[in-house]
C-alpha cells in the first residue's frame, strides 16, 4: 500500500526516510523491526525480530522520527505500519510538537490525525496527550472509510471473563521500554 495514495496525495522525497536509509534501515520492515526493538512487541513476530538490525539510538533517530517514517507519504507500507506507529505514538515521552512538525514535513498529517483522534476517543489514560497533538495538527479531510485500520486494532481487547471477576477494559497498546 502506498500511503500517499491512501491520503489522496503524491509521494515526495522524504527527508526522514532518507535519514533512516542512511542509518541502515533500508526496507519498510526494518522500521518495524526497529520499533520492535524499542518495545512495540504486540505486532512483532519472533522471526521478524530474529532478523537482527541494530538500534542506532534515539539520539540518532528519535521515536518521533520513527513514528512518522512508518506512515510517511513516501512510504510503501501496510496496516501493520499504521498499527505500530499508533503503538509507538502512545508511549511515554513522545514530543507532540516534534511529531506535528515532522508529520507536516512528511505529508502524513491525515494518518497521524486519524491515530490521534482514535486515541482521544479510546485512550482513557492519555486524553490530554492526544488533545495536545490534535491541537498542533492542521485540519485535513478524513481518510476514506476502510483505508485505515479500525481503531480497535490500536488496542488490547480483553476476552471473556467470568462474572465473578471484575470486568476488564480495553487499553491502548503502548511501546514498553
How does pLDDT run across 7-41, given as a tens digit for each residue? 555 556 789 999 999 999 988 889 999 998 898 87
When comparing pLDDT for 127 and 3, which is higher?
Answer: 127
Give the distance from CA 107 to its chain's centroid.
Answer: 14
Q: Are 89 and 71 in contact (CB under 8 A)?
A: no
Distance CA 141, CA 14 (A): 22
Distance CA 174, CA 39 (A): 8
Average pLDDT over residues 73-83: 83
State residue 100 phi and psi, 5-degree precision.
-60, -45
Q: Are 106 and 14 in contact (CB under 8 A)?
A: yes
pLDDT of 108 higher than 80: yes
Distance CA 150, CA 83 (A): 9
Give the distance from CA 57 to its chain's centroid.
Answer: 18
Domain residue spans of the chain: 3-158+166-172
pLDDT of 63 higher than 50: yes
Range from 86-90, 124-128, 163-167 carrying the lowest mean pLDDT: 163-167
- Report pLDDT digits (tens) over 34-47: 998 898 877 666 66
Confidence of residue 161 (pLDDT cuts 50, 70, 90): low
pLDDT at 45: 63
pLDDT at 4: 46
Confidence of residue 152 (pLDDT cuts 50, 70, 90): confident
Distance CA 115, CA 100 (A): 12
Amino acid at each position: 500500500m502506498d500511503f500517499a495514495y491512501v491520503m489522496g496525495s503524491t509521494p515526495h522525497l522524504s527527508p526522514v526516510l532518507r535519514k533512516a536509509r542512511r542509518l541502515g534501515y533500508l526496507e519498510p520492515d526494518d522500521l518495524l523491526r526497529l520499533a520492535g526493538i524499542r518495545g512495540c512487541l504486540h505486532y512483532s513476530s519472533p522471526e521478524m525480530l530474529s532478523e537482527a538490525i541494530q538500534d542506532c539510538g534515539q539520539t540518532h533517530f528519535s521515536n518521533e522520527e520513527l513514528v512518522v517514517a512508518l506512515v510517511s507519504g513516501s512510504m510503501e507500507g501496510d496496516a501493520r505500519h499504521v498499527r505500530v506507529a499508533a503503538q509507538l505514538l502512545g508511549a511515554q515521552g513522545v514530543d507532540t510538537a516534534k511529531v506535528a512538525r515532522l508529520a507536516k514535513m512528511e505529508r502524513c498529517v491525515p494518518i497521524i490525525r486519524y491515530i490521534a483522534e482514535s486515541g482521544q476517543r479510546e485512550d482513557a489514560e492519555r486524553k490530554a496527550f492526544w488533545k495536545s497533538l490534535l491541537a498542533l495538527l492542521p485540519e485535513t479531510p478524513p481518510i476514506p472509510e476502510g483505508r485505515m485500520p479500525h481503531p480497535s486494532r490500536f488496542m488490547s481487547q480483553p476476552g471473556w471473563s467470568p462474572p465473578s471477576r471484575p470486568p476488564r477494559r480495553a487499553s491502548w497498546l503502548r511501546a514498553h521500554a
